[in-house]
């Protein structure tokens, strides 16, 4: 887990350095800005795809949001491309147990 986190941080720092290099300077002529913008977009997409590749595209993602003052849990399974919602952390855990033991 720490290795993945460190790799993610390293990739994010490299991406930020590259984006800094292609940022148009204030003195740059406006004719060059579309070129920089296109290059920046391409590098950003490359960075996003690289992060996805190294962090595992099939990894389950779980997060929590609050709706109407109540916590709501979500789980996205990229293998099935389905997102489920739950009303409690225990519901998420039960679903995870069922998912792994079926």
CB < 8 Å & 24+ apart, contacts of 24-30: none
Q: How many domains does the chain have?
A: 2
Are residues 45 and 19 located together in one domain of the fold? yes
Both tokens assigned to 64: 């929590």
Q: Which of 55, 47, 2, 49 is nearest to 22 (CA)?
A: 47
pLDDT tens digit sequence for 66-86: 989 999 999 988 878 889 999
Which pLDDT band holds residue 102 (cuts at 50, 70, 90)? low
Q: Are 78 and 57 in contact (CB under 8 A)?
A: yes
Are residues 13 and 39 located together in one domain of the fold? yes
Domain that residue 66 falls in: 61-101
Are residues 65 and 47 located together in one domain of the fold? no
Are residues 49 and 73 located together in one domain of the fold? no
Are residues 51 and 69 located together in one domain of the fold? no
Are residues 7 and 39 located together in one domain of the fold? yes
Are residues 50 and 77 located together in one domain of the fold? no
- Tell me what pLDDT residue 44 has: 86
The residues that bridge with 82 in the sheet, in sequence order, are: 77
């Amino acid at each position: 887990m720490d290795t993945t986190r460190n790799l993610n941080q390293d990739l994010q720092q490299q991406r930020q350095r590259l984006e800094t290099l292609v940022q148009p300077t204030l003195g740059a002529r406006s004719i060059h800005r579309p070129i920089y913008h296109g290059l920046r977009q391409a590098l950003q997409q490359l960075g996003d795809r690289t992060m996805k590749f190294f962090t595992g595209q099939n990894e389950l993602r779980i997060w929590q949001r609050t709706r109407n003052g109540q916590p709501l849990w979500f789980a996205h399974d990229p293998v099935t491309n389905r997102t489920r919602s739950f009303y409690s952390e225990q519901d998420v855990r039960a679903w995870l147990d069922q998912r792994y033991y079926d």
